[in-house]
Structure 1
Amino acid sequence: MNPRWSSSELSIALGVDPDGGADVAVSGVSIDTRTLQPGDLFVALKDVRDGHEFVSAAFKAGAGAALVGQDYSRQASDGVLFRVSDPLAGLVALGRAARDRLSSDARVIGVTGSAGKTGTKEMLRAALSRLGVTHASEKSYNNHWGVPLTLARMPADTQFGVFEIGMNHADEIRPLTKMVRPHAAIITTVEAVHLEHFPSVAEIADAKGEIFEGLLPGGSAIIKYDNPFAGRLKAIAEACGAKPVTFGFDANADVRGLDFRPSDDGCDMAVELAGETLSVHLAMPGRHIAENALAVAAALYSIGADVGGAMAALSDLAPPGGRGARSKLYVGGGEALLIDESYNANPASMKAALATLGAVPRQKYVRRIAVLGDMLELGSDAPVLHTDLKSAVDAADVDLVFACGPHMKGLYDALPATKKGGYSLTSPPLEAALASHLRAGDVVMIKASNGTRLGAVVAALKTRFGTEQFEKDGPAA
């Protein structure tokens, strides 16, 4: 076991002595007994379920210690306990201690934005791992418990830390960025998301701008140049004492993309920064992906990293499941392409995904199919924002649309009959309808907010059409 925290370090960070013995070291930090590893510190958070109900199960699974509330009653099988007034506050204290113990030479980057946060974080993880020991958020651990959990898991010898920070209300990012204390902070974009919690997109920009408040003195604020709120974000950054660094394909951006070229295996572009021009290949397709890569280049440059050496890692970084992952399906003796965008959606990312679908060459995949589910948290503007996607469907020259959810019905009704593949209020009936239409030479892109459950349609198609067999062994005879 490689100790992450010693007993004395835990005591100092939490301000309490251990209950049940002092000689303990933990190798990680967990909030879920289903994924807990032997030697982890189990933190009994009160969320959907009260984590105190699972403390004994955590010890049976091999936990090295547990962080619990003061009033927790020890059970016979329990080991070392660290008792605090509030386990979440204890996790925050542990996260702050992890940030404090980093070397002064270590560099930390924060990432937020209305779209592309997780993808940009994963690009940074891959790029910085080329240069040194890198620690980054798992999955989308970007909220009030995800950020301190990611901090608390960070090894002391980390050279580069990457933290995704999310929000759906004002004042959520502020305390999180002050825990992270980044040297550079990226706002990928500001778009019309979470509108049920904000009266305007301008106020969303202000909430995203909170990330600059945590920047260390002299830190860099990485801002998309051609976003309508770029000027507003630059003013916020400068008020925080940060240096704005812009990125994009505009000629006036500080870090500029040139000669964007989509291809079958991703895309290529040139990156111009500080008088230098780098050639970059991305294994992930899409102009929006290239823009996120420019944000990565800007952040790398801002922290003094080897931009060229680090960006080379992106030529091997494939998109993760639910966020653009591509699979071949065996259909009717031939091949179809499945693009899985089922994890999340908002108007900006939906338009970007449709544009990427439209860029798939018809020479190989003749027919374009879009399976679109509801985008959530859009408030009273939801009906019009869904219907307005028709222009993006038309621009992508989509041949057939399958739609799911009450709001996406508006888009479906606005389409001509020739483009209507099928509609369902919920996702289960959609799979059979889609499967009956699918044929060799199709490319099908599935996109929705996670709550619409279109991930189940992706899984069903892979099972039905033998994705793994086709990819490994070729079509059946």
Structure 2
Amino acid sequence: MTALWTADAIAQAVGGEAHGDFAVNGVAFDSREVGSGDLFIALKGEETNGHRFVDGAFANGAGGAIVSEDCAHPHVRVVDTTAALDDLGMGGRARADAKIFGVTGSVGKTGTKEALFAALERAAPGQAHRSVKSYNNHTGVPLSLARMPANSRYGVFEMGMNHAGELAALTKLVRPHVALITAIAPAHIEFFDSIEGIADAKGEIFQGLEPGGTALIPFDSPHRDRLISWAEPHAGTIWTFGRGEGADIRAVEVSREITGTIISAVLPNGELTYTIGLPGDHWVSNSLAVIGAVEAVGGDLAVAGLALAELAGLPGRGARTAISTEDGEALLIDESYNANPVSMKAALKTLAEEPVDRRIVVLGAMGELGDDTDSYHAGLADPILDAGIEMAVLVGEPMKVLATALGNKIDIVHVPDAATALESLEGKIRTGDALLIKGSNYIGLARLVEALASGKTLCST
């Protein structure tokens, strides 16, 4: 197997000096994630110094390191390891003759990134690469680029932000041939003056487009024209996707079936009918973005459709698990990774469509909503009632206003944390129920999901 990086190639990419002849097959900056033959980058942060963990990384099997201090192991010495991470990412991007995709948005970017990767990987097995987890920030993006094999045909990179200017920097590292925005929502609005400011920050992704590149923009978004204005100076082609008349990639027919959602879509160069394995209206839009991205690079649309039919939910982002009850099973829908007002409403609407006996939700507080946090939380009352929810466990202090808004219209429990949420569910889940768990990551509802899926008791920390 060809090495991902050699010592000399690393030194050349980062402008450093190689000490020892080594080759590596992976890259990490967290020593706990280092595997056999990986490169460990010893980053220096405000609170910690990665050089403290160099010996531990090699104990875990590291094949080499990038350091700025003395090191007794095979390494490349640089002045600044953080700058070296960026340089290695840019080196990985420069050497790969691949079609590169950049994905951002307030909601749906990780799922869309995974769906696009699945479509490309199915067409070119072993030659598609993507950022893993939610490695979408100033360290995660260059790390993901550095991990891209030189022989990749496709690279899919998620980019996130919570302040203006961040995406502009990331997209210039990625330099995508196709840049797409899934949706605009009041996520991180605490750091912006308005939702229009969020749209502007997302529009920065187009600044990194390769010459002649394609911009994909949600047609049904109220910020469509604003996003188009951001794309126009940089994109060779601008396509919109959605369900509205006039979208370049348009779902003209949507049919819900037991096996999934069947979509007939019109594209700039033809038509395609395909199935999405995941439920929810938001996946109609996400899938159109995926199809548009594949179309933009001349990819295999039929294969992409097959990949979309086989999609399964990701942990924390729609994964579905059967959990045991006293006399059978209930459905657990895991949306615990993150939440904002738009994604909350989408998840509730999807839950409403589940053919189950009873619907229960555990909803955690939503973070970074600024001065309007109370109104955003209280605004979930009608979607909860419209979804036919019979019991709601509301977690965290910001959810108090939602509990008040719901009053006694349904069975409500308001609790301070995830541990107490589990206690409130004991003896309440019955066979045939569907339980949706969703909230911002800081609330820690992933622990609740793990406890329910394993049948263990969740303990407070």
Shorter-chain TM-score tier: over 0.9
Counterpart residue number, 2:115: 123
Counterpart residue number, 2:3: 3
Counterpart residue number, 1:65: 64
Counterpart residue number, 1:453: 444
- SS of the equivalent of 1:79 reads coil
The residue type equivalent to 2:67 in the other structure is V
Counterpart residue number, 1:196: 190
Q: Please tell me whether the aligned partners of residues 163 and 201 of structure 2 are also in contact (alpha carbons under 8 angstroms).
A: yes
Q: Over aligned residue pairs, what C-alpha RMSD do you find? A: 1.5
Post-superposition shift, 1:279? 1.7
Q: Please tell me whether the aligned partners of residues 17 and 78 of structure 2 are also in contact (alpha carbons under 8 angstroms).
A: no
In 2, Cα distance between equivalents of 1:346 and 1:242: 33
Q: Please tell me whether the aligned partners of residues 421 and 434 of structure 1 are also in contact (alpha carbons under 8 angstroms).
A: no
In 2, Cα distance between equivalents of 1:304 and 1:241: 17
Residue correspondence of structure 1 range 292-307 to structure 2 within 5 A: 292-307=286-301
Post-superposition shift, 1:456? 1.4
Counterpart residue number, 2:139: 145
Q: Please tell me whether the aligned partners of residues 89 and 146 of structure 2 are also in contact (alpha carbons under 8 angstroms).
A: yes
In 1, Cα distance between equivalents of 2:358 and 2:375: 27
The residue type equivalent to 2:104 in the other structure is T
- SS of the equivalent of 1:18 reads strand
The residue type equivalent to 2:7 in the other structure is S
Post-superposition shift, 1:412? 1.3
Counterpart residue number, 2:102: 110
Deviations 1:51-96 (A, max 9, x none): 1110111122221111112xx233xxx3212121211110110111
Counterpart residue number, 1:474: none
Counterpart residue number, 2:16: 16
The answer to whether structure 1 residue 438 and structure 2 residue 434 are counterparts is no
The answer to whether structure 1 residue 46 and structure 2 residue 38 are counterparts is no
Post-superposition shift, 1:420? 2.5
In 2, Cα distance between equivalents of 1:410 and 1:428: 21
In 1, Cα distance between equivalents of 2:395 and 2:252: 37
Q: Please tell me whether the aligned partners of residues 195 and 381 of structure 1 are also in contact (alpha carbons under 8 angstroms).
A: no
In 2, Cα distance between equivalents of 1:314 and 1:408: 35
Post-superposition shift, 1:275? 5.3
Counterpart residue number, 1:334: 328
State TM-score, norm by structure 2.
Answer: 0.96
In 2, Cα distance between equivalents of 1:14 and 1:329: 49
Q: Please tell me whether the aligned partners of residues 268 and 282 of structure 1 are also in contact (alpha carbons under 8 angstroms).
A: yes
In 2, Cα distance between equivalents of 1:61 and 1:185: 37
Q: Please tell me whether the aligned partners of residues 369 and 444 of structure 1 are also in contact (alpha carbons under 8 angstroms).
A: yes
Which sits farther off after the overlay, 59-68 or 115-124?
Answer: 59-68
Post-superposition shift, 1:263? 3.7
Which of 73, 78, 101 is matched with 1:84 structurally? 78
The answer to whether structure 1 residue 28 and structure 2 residue 32 are counterparts is no
The residue type equivalent to 1:18 in the other structure is A
Q: Please tell me whether the aligned partners of residues 125 and 134 of structure 1 are also in contact (alpha carbons under 8 angstroms).
A: yes
Post-superposition shift, 1:350? 0.5
Residue correspondence of structure 1 range 187-336 to structure 2 within 5 A: 187-274=181-268, 276-336=270-330
Which of 157, 161, 166 is matched with 2:160 structurally? 166
- SS of the equivalent of 1:34 reads helix
The residue type equivalent to 1:259 in the other structure is E
Q: Please tell me whether the aligned partners of residues 215 and 235 of structure 2 are also in contact (alpha carbons under 8 angstroms).
A: no
Which sits farther off after the overlay, 436-445 or 378-387?
Answer: 436-445
Structure 2 gaps of 5+ residues are none
Deviations 1:332-391 (A, max 9, x none): 212211111001101111010000000112xxx111111111011111111100100112
- SS of the equivalent of 2:394 reads strand
In 2, Cα distance between equivalents of 1:265 and 1:371: 27
- SS of the equivalent of 1:38 reads coil
Q: Please tell me whether the aligned partners of residues 175 and 209 of structure 2 are also in contact (alpha carbons under 8 angstroms).
A: yes
Q: Please tell me whether the aligned partners of residues 435 and 461 of structure 1 are also in contact (alpha carbons under 8 angstroms).
A: no
Counterpart residue number, 1:373: 364
Post-superposition shift, 1:465? 8.3
The residue type equivalent to 1:160 in the other structure is Y
In 2, Cα distance between equivalents of 1:457 and 1:149: 30
In 2, Cα distance between equivalents of 1:424 and 1:342: 16
Q: Please tell me whether the aligned partners of residues 403 and 412 of structure 2 are also in contact (alpha carbons under 8 angstroms).
A: no
Counterpart residue number, 1:397: 388
Deviations 1:92-146 (A, max 9, x none): 101111111112xx21000000000100000011000022210000100000000
Post-superposition shift, 1:265? 4.2
In 1, Cα distance between equivalents of 2:256 and 2:393: 26
Post-superposition shift, 1:464? 2.3
In 2, Cα distance between equivalents of 1:197 and 1:305: 38
Post-superposition shift, 1:208? 0.3
In 2, Cα distance between equivalents of 1:464 and 1:64: 40
Which of 344, 367, 378 is matched with 1:387 structurally? 378
Structure 1 gaps of 5+ residues are 467-477
In 2, Cα distance between equivalents of 1:432 and 1:388: 26
The residue type equivalent to 1:29 in the other structure is V
- SS of the equivalent of 1:130 reads helix
In 1, Cα distance between equivalents of 2:359 and 2:456: 18
In 1, Cα distance between equivalents of 2:451 and 2:74: 45
- SS of the equivalent of 1:423 reads strand
In 2, Cα distance between equivalents of 1:463 and 1:7: 44
Counterpart residue number, 1:475: none
- SS of the equivalent of 1:174 reads helix
Post-superposition shift, 1:49? 2.8
